[in-house]
Amino acid sequence: MENSVELHTPKGTERLHGQNRIRLLSIVFCGFFLAIAVQLGQLTLIHKTPAANPELAAHETPIPRPDIIDRNGVVMATDIAVASLFADPRKITDMDEAVESLTATMPDLDSKALREKLTAPGRAFVWLKRQVSPEERDAVYNLGIPGVGYVNERKRVYPLGRLAAHTIGYVDVDTHGIAGIEKFLDDQGALYTASLSEPETSTSAPAQLAMDMRIQHAVTDEVSKAVIKYKAKSGGGIILDTETGEILALASLPDYNPNADDKRLTSDQQNKLTSGVYELGSVIKAVTFAMAFDYGTASLTSTYDTRSNLVIGNARISDFHAQRRVLTVPEVFTNSSNIGTAKMALQVGVENHVEFLRRVGLLDRLVTEVPESAKPLLPKHWSKLASATAAFGHGFAVQPLQGLSVISDLINGGMSIPPTFLKRTKEEADVLAHRVVKPETSEKMRYLFRLNVEEGTASKADVLGYRVGGKTGTAEKVIHGRYSKDKSLATFIGAFPMDHPKYAIFVMLDEPQATPETYGFATAGWNAVPTASKIIERIAPLLGVTPVFTAEDLAKLAKLAKTTKKNG
C-alpha cells in the first residue's frame, strides 16, 4: 500500500487572509479618497498657495510699518490685519457661475472687467479685491468656488482721520508711502526693525513727531471757522517752537481723509504750506528791517521820508496806509510803509540784500521730512527795482513754512534752526543752530513786533497776559500774469511771549472777503490777525505759557468782566 500524506488548512487561517485583504482594500480606498479630499481642499478651502503664486507669496511676509505718534504718544497712523481676495483662473471650473456669484456677493465689482481678468490667457493669479471687510471675506469664502481664496495683509489706518493729514500723508494699497511722513519713512529704511522671517511678531520703532494733536486740533478748528466766516478760498496755520524748530501744528485747508479709498486730491487740497509758494507781502518787511539793523544802515531812531511816492524808472512805489510825512523806523514798521521799507533796502544795496536773503535761507528750497517742498520763485535779475519791491514782499514767493521759520530765527536771538516734523530736544537743536543775525538785531525785532500789536496793524492779535507780537501782510495775487486788485492773500506771522519768544505762529487766508464786521476791509489785520488771536488764546494754556498781567491788562480784564456781568 502506497503511503500518502493529506494536508488540511485550518479555518482560522483562511479567515485571517480574508481580513487582510479587506484591510488592504480599505487602505487603498481611504488613500484614494484622501487624495481627492486634499485636492478639493487646495481648490476650495485652502486660502494661501504662495509657492504656486509668486505675487501672492510676496504678500505673505509684509514688512510692518512703524506706528506714527505725536509728541505725547497719541497714535496718528497704525497697521491692522485685513484680507485680500484672489483667484487662480486655471482652477475655476465654471467661469460663468464664478463671475455671477462673485459680482452678486460684491456688487461693486464690474462683471465685464472681472471676466476679462479671469479669462486673460496665461493668468495664474489675479486680485479680485484688496483689503476687504471680514464679512465680505467670509461671504466669498463660503461660496466655495474652486481657485478663489484670500490672503491676510496689512492695512494702514489713520485713527484721527483728517487731522494733520497733510503732514502724516498716506500709503497705497501695498502700504508704500505716497506722501508726507509716510513717504519719508519709506525713504528712511533704517527706521524699520522688522524681521522678515517672523512678520507676525515683528515690530517697528514708532516714528514720533514733534506735533501735538491738541494744538493741531485748535489750529485746524480756528482756521476752518475763519475760512467760513471770511468766505476765503482756503486757509492755513502753523505753530513752531522757536527754540527747537519743532513744528507743533500744521493745518492746510481744504484737507482730505487719508482713510478714503480714492485720494485723488484737487489742487485746493494740496499742502499749501510746504508745497505752495506765495508772495507773503508785508510780513517779509521784518526781514528787511533785520537786514538794515544787522548791516548798521538803520537804527530805531532812523527816519525815512514817505511824503511822496518812491519812483524807480517807470515804477512808482506807494503806501496803502499813506502817512505823507517823515516816519521813524518804528513808525515805518507799525504803519507798514512800502516806501520807507524800500528805502531801507536801497541803503543796504542790491548785492548785500541778496546776500542777506541767502544767509537767512529765503533763496533756497526749504527741506524738511515732509517731501512736498516747493522751491522759491525769485526775480530773474536782481535790479534796483527788484530789490526795492522784494523789501516789502513783492516779486518773490516762498513756502509759508519757510517764511515763518526765517522770521522765527530773527526773533529767537538770531539763531537759525532748521524746522522739523520730528520730535527734537533743545540740546539737539543747539547742535544744528548757527547764527544769522546779531543778538541786538533780534532784540530790536522783538521790540518792533510787540509794538506793532500794541499800536500798529496787528492790534487785534493781542491776548491779555501773553505779550503777543507780530507782522501783517496783505499781498495782491497774481492772476493770469497780472496783479489782481480784488484777490489777495492775507497773512500774519507772530510770536509769544514777546519778551522771550517761545512759540511762533503763522496764519494765512486765501482770498478772504470783506464782511460787515470788518467795515468793508479784507486786509490781514481784519481777518488773519483775529484768527491768530483766537488760536493763541486756546493753545497758550495747553503749551504751559504762564500769563503775566500788567496793570493795564488788569484794568482791561476788570472792564471786560464788568461789561460781561452787565450784559447778563
Known catalytic residues?
Answer: 282
CB 151 within 8 A of CB 59: yes
Backbone angles phi, psi at 118, to 5 degrees: -75, -25
CB 159 within 8 A of CB 213: no
At CB < 8 A and 24+ separation, what contacts does 275-278 make?
A: 275/372, 275/373, 275/374, 275/399, 276/374, 276/399, 276/400, 277/374, 277/375, 277/376, 277/377, 277/397, 277/398, 277/399, 278/397, 278/398, 278/400, 278/475, 278/489, 278/491, 278/508
Q: What angle do CA 63, 65, 68 make, to 5 degrees?
A: 170
CA distances from 340 to 297, 334, 344, 345 (A): 13, 11, 6, 9
- For 94-128, give one letter per residue: b (16+ CB within 10 A) or e: eeeebbebbbeebeebeeeebbebbeeeeebbbeb
Select from 327, 310, 504 the least CA-distant residue to 391: 310
> Judging by beta carbons within 10 Å of its beta carbon (0-12, 13-18, 19+), is residue 328 exposed, middle or buried?
middle
* CA distance linking residue 526 with residue 463, whole number of Å: 15
What single DSSP character describes residue 246?
B
* CA distance linking residue 433 with residue 414, whole number of Å: 10
CA torsion angle 495 432 282 311 (round to 10): 150
Helix 400-411 vs helix 350-360: angle between axes, to the nearest 10 degrees? 100
* CA distance linking residue 516 with residue 7, whole number of Å: 127
Select from 31, 126, 132 the least CA-distant residue to 81: 132
Question: 33 is written with which cell numbers?
Answer: 479618497
CB 80 within 8 A of CB 157: yes
Backbone angles phi, psi at 214, to 5 degrees: -65, -45
In the numeric block, the cell 516806501 is attached to 339
